[in-house]
Amino acid sequence: MNILLIGSGGREHALAWAIRQSGQCETLFCAPGNAGIAEICECVALDVSDHDAVAGFCRDNAVGLVVVGPEGPLVTGIVDALDAAGIKAFGPDAAAARLEGSKAFTKEVCTKYGIPTARYGRFDNAEAALGYLAANPAPIVVKADGLAAGKGVIVAMTDEQAQAAVRDIFSGRFGAAGAEVVIEEFLDGEEASFFALCDGETAVPFGTAQDHKRVGDGDTGANTGGMGAYSPAPVLDAAMSARVIDEIIAPTMNGMAAEGCPYKGVLYAGLMITAEGPKLIEYNCRFGDPECQVLMMRLDSDIVPLLLASCDGTLKEAAVAWRKQAALTVVMAASGYPGEPKKGGTISGLAKAAAPDQVEVFHAATRHDGERLTASGGRVLNVTALGDSVSEAAGRAYRAVDEIDWADGFCRRDIGWRAIEREMAKG
């Protein structure tokens, strides 16, 4: 079957790499893609915000499955439009994608269906929000309600920071995303991500991961989209994963169905593992980036039948096999990121970096400029490796990083530190 993948990041390169290995995939299109994706896909210049144009492309090119990478098109209803045109698409429809698109919606689902999460208040004006802060001192977390590209969350350690965050969000800086704020209890614990493939009724566990959101070593500096990740997350052992399914994922699936918006696609739960157990920080309605890169490295099953089963409602019969190994990915970013990244620098050495077995270099913001491979955005490469332990995967990934020649690039040197410390302590 012909497949169209939507997106242009490292997540989509990893998805393309996995889909390409499927016996069921004939032509793999990607819109818009990047330089790495172009090596394994036919990249097409489609305006993915024009859902009718995407549907038209699918009809003209006999596309049997559309796989949507990023949240933007999901939240604006690309799956609804494709469904209406009779084209199978992997991902939630707009009503179900509210689990990511609206923090307030997710909080309501949590309250109604007894899903453990931080206590919260929701406000549409600064006065009421500041009043709530007066009654609930720091540490406390202030969030813009809508999609704010990861920048709408302020973990305030002082009352002054919390008040400033409320004023900032209501200043209009986040546009429509800042029309409401959610203020929530600060959760103390270890963060981890849990993924499930869903078909509206059944949720099949689809791996765990931990990422590093801060730009600097030691988890310092500005927040980013993610500077690296590894899988599995040691804190989500079998017993804790079972609790996540019973207490969080299953009630969400049942609740969404009861609300008339059954959830299909990948459900990505951002969790805090607290002393009382797992609590939901947020849902995302798509794979994580760079978490997807480590999941795809570990996946031992053909991904295409699983994506189709999610669309068709047949996940109950599906089995997912994983490699025993751990996977780790190091993000190489352009200097300046997460601020204004330095674009246009030449990148070389990738063939040598990716030569060892068990190493893949997934591209994010790359493009070809004649013969040169150049950086075209903030997060540029995902140097990804398997290993018998997280330590071994990290060693392999960093050896590959060191083969890459790119003057403007930088990466964190401590990806995986928490898991590596655990492994060292075990001996």
Report, in Å, the least distance between residue 51 CB and ligand GLY: 23
Alpha-carbon Rg for the chain in angstroms: 21
Rounded to whole angstroms, how far apart are CA atoms 138 and 162?
7
Residue 416 lies near ligand GLY (rule: CB under 6 A):
no
Rounded to whole angstroms, how far apart are CA atoms 202 and 199?
6
Residue 186 lies near ligand AMP (rule: CB under 6 A):
yes
> Rounded to the nearest 5°, which phi and psi values hold at 421?
-60, -40
Report, in Å, the least distance between residue 119 CB and ligand AMP: 9
Report, in Å, the least distance between residue 153 CB and ligand AMP: 4
Q: Is 192 helix (H, G, I), strand (E, B) or coil?
A: strand
225, 251, 255, 265: which one binds ligand GLY (CB under 6 A)? 225
Look at the block and give the residue holding tokens 């052992």.
Answer: 237
Number of chain residues interacting with ligand GLY (CB under 6 A): 7
Residue 100 lies near ligand AMP (rule: CB under 6 A):
no
Report, in Å, the least distance between residue 282 CB and ligand AMP: 4
Rounded to whole angstroms, how far apart are CA atoms 142 and 162?
7
Q: Which two tokens stand for residue 38?
A: 């172009």
x/- letters, 210..249, toward ligand AMP (CB under 6 A): ---x------------------------------------
Rounded to whole angstroms, how far apart are CA atoms 311 and 314?
8
9, 146, 200, 226: which one binds ligand GLY (CB under 6 A)? 226
What residue 226 binds from ligand GLY, ligand AMP, none (CB within 5 to 8 A, per partner kind)?
Answer: ligand GLY
Residue 288 lies near ligand GLY (rule: CB under 6 A):
yes
Residue 211 lies near ligand GLY (rule: CB under 6 A):
yes
> Rounded to the nearest 5°, which phi and psi values hold at 291?
-60, -35
> 317-335 b/e with 16+ CB inside 10 Å = b?
ebeeebeebbbbbbbbbbb
Task: Choose between 72 and 226: whose C-beta lies nearer to ligand GLY.
Answer: 226
121, 205, 216, 270: which one binds ligand AMP (CB under 6 A)? 270
What residue 288 binds from ligand AMP, ligand GLY, none (CB within 5 to 8 A, per partner kind)?
Answer: ligand GLY
Is residue 149 within 8 A of residue 105, CB to CB? The reply is no
Residue 289 lies near ligand GLY (rule: CB under 6 A):
yes
39, 282, 414, 423: which one binds ligand AMP (CB under 6 A)? 282
Look at the block and give the residue holding tokens 């969404």.
Answer: 256
Q: What is the DSSP letter of 137?
A: P
Is residue 410 within 8 A of residue 345, CB to CB? The reply is no
x/- letters, 150..169, toward ligand AMP (CB under 6 A): x--x-x--------------
Report, in Å, the least distance between residue 126 CB and ligand AMP: 20
Residue 257 lies near ligand AMP (rule: CB under 6 A):
no
Tell how far CA 196 is from the center of its chain: 12
CA end-to-end span of the chain: 48
Tell how far CA 326 is from the center of its chain: 18
Binding site for ligand GLY (CB under 6 A): 211, 225-226, 284, 288-289, 291
Binding site for ligand AMP (CB under 6 A): 118, 141, 150, 153, 155, 184-187, 191, 213, 270, 281-282
